[in-house]
A and B are shown apart, each in its own frame.
Chain A
Amino acid sequence: ETGVTQTPRHLVMGMTNKKSLKCEQHLGHNAMYWYKQSAKKPLELMFVYSLEERVENNSVPSRFSPECPNSSHLFLHLHTLQPEDSALYLCASSQDLNPGGTEAFFGQGTRLTVV
Protein backbone atom coordinates (compact mmCIF):
# COMPACT_ATOMS: atom_id res chain seq x y z
CA GLU A 1 0.00 0.00 0.00
CA THR A 2 1.24 3.44 -0.86
CA GLY A 3 0.99 6.47 1.36
CA VAL A 4 0.90 6.24 5.13
CA THR A 5 -0.01 2.91 6.67
CA GLN A 6 -0.99 2.37 10.29
CA THR A 7 -1.31 -0.90 12.15
CA PRO A 8 -3.31 -2.19 13.82
CA ARG A 9 -6.52 -0.55 12.64
CA HIS A 10 -8.28 -1.43 15.89
CA LEU A 11 -6.87 -2.14 19.33
CA VAL A 12 -8.51 -2.96 22.63
CA MET A 13 -6.25 -3.01 25.64
CA GLY A 14 -6.51 -3.16 29.40
CA MET A 15 -5.11 -0.46 31.61
CA THR A 16 -2.19 -2.64 32.65
CA ASN A 17 -1.23 -3.74 29.15
CA LYS A 18 1.66 -2.58 27.01
CA LYS A 19 1.07 -2.20 23.30
CA SER A 20 2.54 -0.32 20.35
CA LEU A 21 1.06 1.47 17.38
CA LYS A 22 2.99 1.41 14.14
CA CYS A 23 3.13 3.91 11.31
CA GLU A 24 4.97 3.43 8.05
CA GLN A 25 5.48 5.72 5.07
CA HIS A 26 7.41 5.17 1.87
CA LEU A 27 6.85 8.62 0.45
CA GLY A 28 10.37 9.78 1.16
CA HIS A 29 9.09 12.28 3.71
CA ASN A 30 11.33 13.71 6.38
CA ALA A 31 8.75 14.62 9.01
CA MET A 32 6.25 12.41 10.83
CA TYR A 33 3.54 13.21 13.34
CA TRP A 34 1.24 11.57 15.86
CA TYR A 35 -2.22 13.09 16.40
CA LYS A 36 -5.00 12.11 18.77
CA GLN A 37 -8.59 12.48 17.60
CA SER A 38 -11.17 12.27 20.36
CA ALA A 39 -14.89 12.53 19.96
CA LYS A 40 -15.16 15.75 21.91
CA LYS A 41 -11.94 17.52 21.00
CA PRO A 42 -10.17 18.77 17.88
CA LEU A 43 -7.27 16.87 16.43
CA GLU A 44 -4.49 17.17 19.00
CA LEU A 45 -0.88 17.13 17.95
CA MET A 46 1.11 14.80 20.18
CA PHE A 47 4.59 14.41 18.73
CA VAL A 48 6.61 15.67 15.79
CA TYR A 49 9.70 13.99 14.38
CA SER A 50 12.05 15.39 11.78
CA LEU A 51 14.81 13.21 10.36
CA GLU A 52 14.26 10.78 13.22
CA GLU A 53 14.71 13.48 15.85
CA ARG A 54 11.84 14.48 18.11
CA VAL A 55 11.24 18.18 17.72
CA GLU A 56 8.04 18.68 19.60
CA ASN A 57 6.23 17.06 22.48
CA ASN A 58 3.00 18.78 23.36
CA SER A 59 2.78 18.00 27.05
CA VAL A 60 1.81 14.42 26.37
CA PRO A 61 1.71 12.12 29.42
CA SER A 62 4.66 9.79 29.77
CA ARG A 63 2.41 6.75 29.33
CA PHE A 64 2.74 7.59 25.62
CA SER A 65 6.26 7.02 24.34
CA PRO A 66 7.15 7.64 20.69
CA GLU A 67 9.97 6.05 18.78
CA CYS A 68 11.30 6.83 15.32
CA PRO A 69 13.96 4.27 14.37
CA ASN A 70 14.25 5.55 10.81
CA SER A 71 12.62 8.07 8.55
CA SER A 72 10.03 5.58 7.30
CA HIS A 73 8.75 4.26 10.61
CA LEU A 74 7.15 5.79 13.65
CA PHE A 75 5.91 3.97 16.71
CA LEU A 76 3.77 4.99 19.65
CA HIS A 77 4.38 2.78 22.67
CA LEU A 78 1.52 2.63 25.15
CA HIS A 79 1.57 1.52 28.78
CA THR A 80 -0.75 1.88 31.77
CA LEU A 81 -3.27 3.87 29.76
CA GLN A 82 -6.50 5.30 31.11
CA PRO A 83 -10.01 4.93 29.67
CA GLU A 84 -9.91 8.59 28.61
CA ASP A 85 -7.04 7.73 26.28
CA SER A 86 -9.50 5.88 24.08
CA ALA A 87 -9.45 7.69 20.75
CA LEU A 88 -8.42 7.49 17.12
CA TYR A 89 -4.66 7.90 16.80
CA LEU A 90 -3.57 9.31 13.49
CA CYS A 91 -0.13 9.28 11.98
CA ALA A 92 0.87 11.79 9.32
CA SER A 93 3.93 12.64 7.30
CA SER A 94 5.09 15.60 5.28
CA GLN A 95 8.03 16.27 3.01
CA ASP A 96 9.70 18.66 5.40
CA LEU A 97 9.40 19.74 9.00
CA ASN A 98 8.19 23.21 8.12
CA PRO A 99 4.82 22.30 6.81
CA GLY A 100 3.91 25.71 5.57
CA GLY A 101 2.42 25.01 2.19
CA THR A 102 3.45 21.38 2.47
CA GLU A 103 0.73 18.80 2.40
CA ALA A 104 0.42 16.37 5.29
CA PHE A 105 -0.50 12.81 4.36
CA PHE A 106 -2.52 10.91 6.93
CA GLY A 107 -2.88 7.26 7.72
CA GLN A 108 -6.24 5.58 8.31
CA GLY A 109 -5.68 5.70 12.03
CA THR A 110 -5.75 3.20 14.86
CA ARG A 111 -8.96 3.10 16.86
CA LEU A 112 -7.84 2.49 20.44
CA THR A 113 -10.17 1.43 23.21
CA VAL A 114 -8.84 1.21 26.76
CA VAL A 115 -10.92 -0.96 29.06
Chain B
Amino acid sequence: AQRVTQPEKLLSVFKGAPVELKCNYSYSGSPELFWYVQYSRQRLQLLLRHISRESIKGFTADLNKGETSFHLKKPFAQEEDSAMYYCALSDNNDMRFGAGTRLTVKP
Protein backbone atom coordinates (compact mmCIF):
# COMPACT_ATOMS: atom_id res chain seq x y z
CA ALA B 1 0.00 0.00 0.00
CA GLN B 2 1.17 3.46 -0.71
CA ARG B 3 1.70 5.88 2.09
CA VAL B 4 2.76 9.49 2.44
CA THR B 5 4.20 10.93 5.63
CA GLN B 6 4.70 14.56 6.47
CA PRO B 7 6.35 14.51 9.89
CA GLU B 8 5.82 18.17 10.72
CA LYS B 9 2.31 19.48 11.32
CA LEU B 10 3.56 23.02 11.89
CA LEU B 11 6.59 24.87 10.60
CA SER B 12 7.44 28.47 11.33
CA VAL B 13 10.29 30.48 9.78
CA PHE B 14 11.21 34.12 9.42
CA LYS B 15 10.96 35.96 6.12
CA GLY B 16 14.09 35.46 4.07
CA ALA B 17 15.06 32.24 5.83
CA PRO B 18 15.34 28.93 3.99
CA VAL B 19 12.46 26.52 4.38
CA GLU B 20 12.18 22.78 3.89
CA LEU B 21 8.94 20.85 4.20
CA LYS B 22 9.56 17.15 4.58
CA CYS B 23 7.76 14.37 2.79
CA ASN B 24 8.53 10.66 2.88
CA TYR B 25 6.69 7.98 1.00
CA SER B 26 6.38 4.24 0.80
CA TYR B 27 5.48 2.73 -2.53
CA SER B 28 6.54 -0.42 -4.30
CA GLY B 29 6.56 0.97 -7.84
CA SER B 30 7.81 4.15 -9.47
CA PRO B 31 5.95 6.95 -7.77
CA GLU B 32 4.44 10.06 -9.21
CA LEU B 33 4.80 12.73 -6.56
CA PHE B 34 3.22 16.14 -6.15
CA TRP B 35 3.06 19.08 -3.80
CA TYR B 36 -0.29 20.79 -3.36
CA VAL B 37 -0.84 24.05 -1.50
CA GLN B 38 -3.87 25.60 0.14
CA TYR B 39 -3.68 29.32 0.87
CA SER B 40 -6.08 30.86 3.36
CA ARG B 41 -9.66 30.77 2.07
CA GLN B 42 -8.60 29.29 -1.25
CA ARG B 43 -9.00 25.85 -2.69
CA LEU B 44 -6.36 23.19 -2.72
CA GLN B 45 -4.21 23.59 -5.83
CA LEU B 46 -1.20 22.02 -7.45
CA LEU B 47 2.15 23.61 -6.62
CA LEU B 48 4.52 21.33 -8.48
CA ARG B 49 5.02 17.77 -9.70
CA HIS B 50 8.25 15.84 -9.68
CA ILE B 51 8.18 14.77 -13.32
CA SER B 52 8.23 18.39 -14.45
CA ARG B 53 11.38 19.18 -12.50
CA GLU B 54 10.09 22.73 -12.31
CA SER B 55 10.47 25.58 -9.88
CA ILE B 56 7.24 27.27 -8.93
CA LYS B 57 7.17 30.43 -6.81
CA GLY B 58 10.77 29.68 -5.93
CA PHE B 59 9.95 26.21 -4.60
CA THR B 60 11.68 23.06 -5.79
CA ALA B 61 11.37 19.42 -4.81
CA ASP B 62 13.70 16.60 -5.66
CA LEU B 63 12.70 12.98 -5.65
CA ASN B 64 15.22 10.92 -3.72
CA LYS B 65 14.42 7.27 -4.32
CA GLY B 66 17.15 6.07 -2.00
CA GLU B 67 15.69 7.96 0.92
CA THR B 68 12.12 7.72 -0.41
CA SER B 69 11.72 11.43 0.09
CA PHE B 70 10.29 14.36 -1.82
CA HIS B 71 11.09 17.36 0.34
CA LEU B 72 9.90 20.82 -0.71
CA LYS B 73 12.47 23.59 -0.48
CA LYS B 74 12.73 27.32 -0.93
CA PRO B 75 15.90 29.27 -0.23
CA PHE B 76 14.23 32.50 0.88
CA ALA B 77 10.74 32.27 2.34
CA GLN B 78 8.21 35.05 1.80
CA GLU B 79 5.21 35.97 3.94
CA GLU B 80 2.87 35.05 1.09
CA ASP B 81 4.19 31.48 1.27
CA SER B 82 2.23 30.97 4.50
CA ALA B 83 -0.20 28.17 3.71
CA MET B 84 -1.00 24.52 4.20
CA TYR B 85 1.20 22.23 2.10
CA TYR B 86 0.31 18.67 1.16
CA CYS B 87 2.57 16.06 -0.36
CA ALA B 88 0.77 13.57 -2.59
CA LEU B 89 1.58 10.29 -4.30
CA SER B 90 -0.26 8.98 -7.31
CA ASP B 91 -0.62 5.54 -8.83
CA ASN B 92 -2.94 4.22 -11.46
CA ASN B 93 -6.26 4.91 -9.85
CA ASP B 94 -5.89 7.44 -7.12
CA MET B 95 -3.89 10.08 -5.37
CA ARG B 96 -2.95 9.77 -1.69
CA PHE B 97 -2.17 12.78 0.42
CA GLY B 98 -0.05 13.33 3.50
CA ALA B 99 -1.47 14.94 6.61
CA GLY B 100 -0.14 18.33 5.58
CA THR B 101 2.25 20.89 7.05
CA ARG B 102 1.12 24.37 7.99
CA LEU B 103 3.87 26.82 7.09
CA THR B 104 3.93 30.22 8.74
CA VAL B 105 6.40 32.81 7.51
CA LYS B 106 6.88 35.57 10.05
CA PRO B 107 7.90 39.11 9.11
Interface residues of A (CB under 8 A from B): 3-4, 33, 35, 41-43, 45, 48, 55-56, 58, 90, 92, 97-101, 103-109
Contact = CB atoms under 8 A, between A and B. Distances in A.
A43 B32 contact: no
A46 to B, nearest CB: 10
Interface of B: 4, 32, 36, 43-46, 49, 51-52, 86, 90-100
A48 B43 contact: no
A90 B45 CA distance: 12
23 contacts: A33-B95, A43-B86, A43-B100, A45-B94, A55-B93, A56-B93, A58-B94, A92-B44, A97-B92, A97-B93, A99-B32, A99-B94, A99-B95, A100-B32, A100-B51, A101-B32, A101-B52, A103-B46, A103-B49, A104-B95, A106-B43, A106-B45, A108-B43
Nearest to A47: B94
Contacts of B49: 101, 103
A114 B36 CA distance: 28
A43 B86 CA distance: 9
Contacts of B90: 99-100
B23 to A, nearest CB: 12
Contacts of A3: 43
A109 B84 CA distance: 15
Given A97-B93, A100-B92, A101-B32, 12 more contacts: A35-B97, A42-B96, A42-B100, A43-B86, A48-B93, A56-B93, A90-B44, A99-B90, A99-B94, A100-B90, A103-B46, A104-B36
Contacts of B92: 97-98, 100
A107 B43 contact: yes
A48 B36 CA distance: 19
B99 A41 contact: yes
B95 to A, nearest CB: 5
Contacts of B32: 99-101
B95 A45 contact: yes
Contact of B94 (A33, A105, A106, A108): A33
